[in-house]
Amino acid sequence: MKKIAYLLIQLLSAGLAANAQTPYVKVPAGYLMVLQQGDDLFAQLEAFMLKEKIPAANFTGMGFVNAKFGFFNQQTKQYDPRSFDNVELASMQGSVAWQQDSVSIHAHGVVTDSTFQAYGGHLLGATVSTGSLEIMITVHDKRFKRVKDEKIGANVLQLRE
C-alpha cells in the first residue's frame, strides 16, 4: 500500500510540475485532481470534463473548503442555501453528466467545523480555503445526461437514451 501511495505522489508531482495549469493526473482508477487555495471546485470539474472529453464520471473528495449547501424546498422547488467558511470537507461524492451541451454536476458532502460539528447536504458550490482539496474521479464509458423532471422540479440522471 505504501508503494502505491508513493507512486501516486510521484505521478502527481510529475504531472503538476509539467503543467501547473493542469491540476490532475491520470491514474489507473481514473484521475486524481488536487485543487489549491482559491480554486473553484465546480469550475475545475467543468474544465476537466471539457478538456478531457469525459462522457460521464463519479467523484469523491476531501479537503478544506468554503462550502455552500442547499436544502431542496419541495414547495418552492428551489434550494434554501447556507454557507460555511473555513471548514473541513470530511466527505464528498457526486456525479458529472451532461444537460443539453453543458456539464451538469450533482454533489453532496459533509463538512465539519473546529468544534467537530458536522453539516451537509446538496453542495451548491465550494472553493478551496486553507490547504487543498483532493478529488478522485472515476470515468464512465457512456455519456449520461440529466433531464429536468417536472413532477419533482429537479434534474434527474438518465441512464438510457
CATH number for the domain harbouring residue 118 = 3.30.1330.80
Q: pLDDT digits over 6-32, tens only?
A: 444 454 454 444 445 689 999 999 999
Three-state secondary-structure class, residue 79: strand
Q: Which residues contact 4 (CB under 8 A, 6 or more apart)?
A: none
Query: Is the C-alpha dihedral spanning 61, 64, 68, 71 positive or negative?
Result: positive
The model's pTM is: 0.83
Q: Which residues contact 9 (CB under 8 A, 6 or more apart)?
A: none
* Full residue range of the structural domain in which residue 131 is found: 24-158
Q: pLDDT digits over 68-112, tens only?
A: 999 999 888 899 999 999 999 999 999 999 999 999 999 999 999
Q: Is residue 7 assigned to a domain?
A: no
Average confidence (pLDDT) over 134-152: 94
Burial grade of 160 (CB within 10 A; 0-12, 13-18, 19 or more): exposed
Query: Element (H or E) spanning 157, and its range?
Result: strand 154-158
pLDDT classification of 60: cutoffs 50, 70, 90 = very high
Mean pLDDT check: name the lowest of 17-26, 56-65, 93-102, 123-132: 17-26
Domain count, the chain: 1
Q: Is residue 14 assigned to a domain?
A: no
Q: Is residue 18 assigned to a domain?
A: no
Average pLDDT for the chain: 89
Three-state secondary-structure class, residue 53: coil
